[in-house]
Amino acid sequence: GAVVSQHPSWVICKSGTSVKIECRSLDFQATTMFWYRQFPKQSLMLMATSNEGSKATYEQGVEKDKFLINHASLTLSTLTVTSAHPEDSSFYICSARAVPGLNTEAFFGQGTRLTVV
Amino acid sequence: RKEVEQDPGPFNVPEGATVAFNCTYSNSASQSFFWYRQDCRKEPKLLMSVYSSGNEDGRFTAQLNRASQYISLLIRDSKLSDSATYLCVVNQAGTALIFGKGTTLSVSS
């Protein structure tokens, strides 16, 4: 089946530094990818929709200048957490559909566990 | 009101038990529905889609009631390996998947 690869799987960084997370579709092209964040015992919350070749669409309450999204190619989207703070510590996960459509399966990357110290 | 609400759980059941999870969604424009399974510290994986006519996949049965905006998942003959968090998910046209908070199932021997 379709595979979405996310890297790194975990990262620990110092407060104030930036962290880049990559999401790749390995065997399909994805014009749209989605970035989610999940805090412990909470649901996956959509942060933004990444669109190839155009600006990302951010959900209400998500700071676009803090969470920079770049979707430079049909197989790669990156999320950069800038000036990270401890409250940004969370599980970040990307998703894409190999076949566009409402009823098609969405595939997820393995997720990135970010810890800001 | 949250877009997708689920039973809070956790559900602790013995092997062989039948367990049912419920879910309601608030947006009547939702067009497709799924149950995903998430193991601890892992990414969600599709368990099954949910259709208006109801559908079954082995020990798993999903039901959808559009009028009540209600979705259910029934697991029969629970196995230890069924222990996980079950996420109710809805999709509207042109948008990402919207997840419920999840219901945790723990099956014990």
- Tens of pLDDT along chain A (117 residues)? 668 999 999 999 999 999 999 999 998 888 889 999 999 888 899 999 988 888 899 999 999 999 999 998 889 999 999 999 999 999 999 998 777 766 677 889 999 999 999
Whole-number Å distance between alpha carbons of B20 and B75: 6
* Predicted pLDDT at A102: 64
Residue A25: CB atoms within 10 A of its CB come to: 23
* Residue linked to tokens 């098609």: A104
Nearest CA distance, A102 vs chain B (angstrom): 6
Apex A74 CA angle, A69 and A79, nearest 5: 20
**Mean pLDDT, range B3-22, rounded to an integer:** 93
What is the predicted pLDDT for the residue at B39? 93
Which residue did the predictor score with more confidence, A27 or B12? Answer: B12
pLDDT digits (tens, 9 = 90+) for B47-58: 999 988 889 999
Q: b/e string for A54-91 if b means 16 or more Cβ within 10 A? A: eebbbeeebeeeebbbebeeebbbbbebeebeeebbbb
Which of A69, A102, A112 would best serve as a mutation to test chain B binding (most B beta carbons within 10 A)? A102
- CA B31 to chain A, closest CA, distance in angstroms equals 7
Is residue B42's pLDDT more than 80? yes
For B33, the closest chain A residue by CA position comes to A103
A113: β partners: A10, A91
pLDDT at residue A27, as a whole number: 87
Which of A32, A36, A43 is most worth mutating to test chain B (most B CB atoms within 10 A of its CB)? Answer: A43
